[in-house]
Amino acid sequence: MDTVDLDRLRRWENAGGTWRLERRRGDTLMISLRRCDGGEEVDRLESAEAALIQYVEAAAADNP
């Protein structure tokens, strides 16, 4: 299973960064990668990777 995008998001989290799901269109997510204080956007990640979608959905379920 290809997890390049999930690995990128996890590295971001492990470095203290935060993220926010900006939109979902079909099977594609747009994620805003933010500074560790939850402030300004630093980058964006757009992906249709199944492992990333599952991870984001699980995170949303844990934080309703």
Among residues 62, 63, 47, which one has the least CA distance to residue 9? 47
pLDDT of residue 1: 66
**In the predicted model, is pLDDT for residue 64 greater than 70?**
no
- 41/19 Cα distance (integer angstroms): 9
* Cα angle value 6/11/12 (rounded, 5°): 95
pLDDT of residue 32: 97
30 CB burial (10 A radius; 0-12, 13-18, 19+): middle
Residues 18-48: tens digit of each pLDDT: 999 999 999 999 999 999 997 899 999 999 9
